[in-house]
Amino acid sequence: MNNLLLELKTIADQARHEDASFDSIRVRLKEVLHYFVLDCIYNSEFKDMIFYGGTCLRIVHNLGRMSEDLDFEWSRNDFEKLAAALESYFKKDIQVHTKTQVNTENAICRITLSFAVLRELGLSSFKEETLRIKVEIRFVTADYLVSITPVHTPKTAYGKSFVLKHYDLPTLFAGKLSAILDRPKKGFTAGDPQEGINFKGRDFFDLLWYMEKGIIPNKKMLEANGHAMSIGEVFDIISIFIAQRDMENGLRKDLEPLLKNQRFVANFVETFRDVFTRLKQERYTSRKIERLERVKVSQDFHNDNHSFIFQYNTVDSSMLITFTFMLTWEFLQYSGSGKAGVPLDSVNQDIIFTQGSVHKNANQYVPLLNRKIDEYLKQHNNEVYFEQWKSKLIRTSTGNNFNPEKEIVFTDANELLNKAVTLEELAMTAQ
């Protein structure tokens, strides 16, 4: 028995020991095979494919549920060549058959990989019963890819190493929202049509995951998918959708095979509506900003990092909206804010307050950081969907134990001031 089959057998035996359902075992096996599919793609001529969807969220950001299939966007249409490469990659280890289907109307290709392993793993009495993984590819234009820039993440697992090309969290969130909005329009049904479940429970599990993190969806991606509306309108539509559906039944049926802890599934289903309503009110209700009220600058004496806190009044004076930037002492010392060309008097000095001993260059960064906020507010019509925003720690070098979800590197102030560096890119993604 080869290494891949041994790995699959270990997973299957462990799942049986846990008394997992057949559906759950099947998904666990798929999760192992995902890494081999990705190894084939991203260590080959197909590495320009852009990974997105629930499995991307699972592998890149440790989403708490399991996932079944793989979704990509691609500006090429060498689908048959890709299918042949995947079949060739696996056939030395296990028997696999590929089937390619192209929907020209929706510009989508689906490559189904059928692995003849279930009988060998003791999960089926029938040789013809296979474990299937769908690789779904959405064809996009080169212009589209220019407008929505992907990122790269290295991954290593099961003896395979590759660098994934994928979208950032705001863009992935926009894709998930589009899926939620579009499935009913496309006639999607789950299970018995008489039950009227026209949604995937996993979509709403992912929805709460994004909402808990306070991720603001990428409007460019929403618009590219045909949803040219405000973020508030998107969530209002989803609220109505939830109110009109048997969410409990749909969530439970779809999530049970994707989560090992069935008690958690029951609790998630029971509390879903309350959690969604709370998070929508806290983080996805529009607040109109009126003016900058005050700026506070302080130093953390434990590590010398500096906080720049900008507080804005809302039009209805109901709350203060806070933007917090975190900068290291080294960045303040060596990045050269004075060369960035932002006048010090562009922010009223009377509203700037320093707490304790701060770096001598600290006040020079107030107008620079304020400009980043102004650019964001102008782009979003002075509307925000949060009460508090916090940046990653801005530093001049990676150093030891660098965490890209919590830290970001710029060599000088001009790099930070660059308009291409948006608040979305600076935002803390793991708080």
Looking at 183-328, list the stretches that DSSP marks H as alpha helix, in order from N- to C-terminal side.
201-213, 219-224, 231-243, 247-255, 262-283
The 10 Å Cβ neighbour count of residue 381 is 10
How many Cβ atoms are within 10 Å of 224's Cβ, its own excluded?
A: 18
The 10s digit of each residue's pLDDT in 100-155 is 999 988 889 999 999 999 999 999 888 889 999 999 999 988 777 667 878 999 99
Domains of the chain plus CATH, in order, are 1-167 (3.10.450.620), 168-285 (no CATH), 288-426 (no CATH)
* Contact (Cβ atoms closer than 8 angstroms) between residue 293 and residue 278: no
Q: Are 352 and 363 in contact (CB under 8 A)?
A: yes
User: Is 102 exposed, middle or buried, given 0-12, 13-18 or 19+ CB atoms closer than 10 A?
Assistant: middle
At 252-268, the pLDDT tens digits run 999 999 999 999 999 99
H runs (alpha helix) in 1-113: 3-17, 22-42, 54-61, 79-91
* 79 pLDDT above the threshold of 90: yes
Name which of 144-148, 157-161, 178-182, 368-372 the model is least confident about. Answer: 144-148
pTM: 0.79
10 Å Cβ neighbour count for 5?
A: 14
CA atoms within 13 A on the CB side of 103: 9
pLDDT value at position 397? Answer: 87
CB 309 within 8 A of CB 370: no
How many whole angstroms separate alpha carbon 246 and alpha carbon 207?
A: 17
Quickly tell me which residue has 């395979």 as its tokens. 160
Check residue 378 and give its pLDDT: 92
For 369, the token pair is 């950081």
Instruction: Specify whether the CB–CB gap between 413 and 397 falls below 8 A.
Output: no
For residues 425 and 178, which has the higher predicted lDDT (pLDDT)? 178
CA–CA distance, 113 with 130 (Å, rounded to integer):
9
Tell me whether strands 151-157 and 160-166 are parallel, antiparallel or unpaired.
antiparallel
How far apart, in Å, are the Cα atoms of 276 and each of 104, 129, 282, 371? Answer: 36, 39, 10, 33
Please tell me the predicted confidence (pLDDT) of residue 191: 57
Q: Report d(CA 170, CA 164) in Å as an integer.
A: 17
- Confidence at residue 431, expressed as pLDDT on a 0 to 100 scale: 42
Residues 6+ away with beta carbon under 8 Å from 4: 36, 93, 94
pLDDT of 333 > 60? The answer is: yes
Distance CA 173, CA 175 (A): 5
Write down the pLDDT at residue 411.
Answer: 87
* Mean pLDDT on 64-89: 95
The 10s digit of each residue's pLDDT in 210-261 is 999 989 898 889 998 899 988 889 999 999 999 988 899 999 999 999 999 9
Q: Is 247:272 a contact under the CB 8 Å cutoff?
A: yes
Residue 25 Cα to chain centre, angstroms: 26
Q: Does the pLDDT value for residue 158 go beyond 90? A: yes
How many Å separate Cα 294 from the centre of its chain? 33
By percentage, how much of the chain surpasses pLDDT 90? 63
What does the block give as tokens for 118? Answer: 């279930």
The pLDDT of residue 321 is above 80: yes
Mean pLDDT, the chain, whole residue set: 90
Task: Identify which of 400, 321, 307 has the alpha carbon closest to the alpha carbon of residue 359.
Answer: 307
**How many Cβ atoms sit within 10 Å of the Cβ of residue 419?**
9
What the block records as the tokens of 70 is 């793989």
Strands 320-327 and 407-409: unpaired
DSSP 8-class letter at 427 = B
Q: Which two tokens stand for residue 352?
A: 């700037």
Output the CA angle 52-55-57, nearest 5 degrees. Answer: 70
Q: Among candidates 274, 267, 238, which has minimal Cα distance to 252? A: 267
User: Does 400 or 71 have the greater pLDDT score?
Assistant: 71
Is pLDDT of 362 > 70? yes
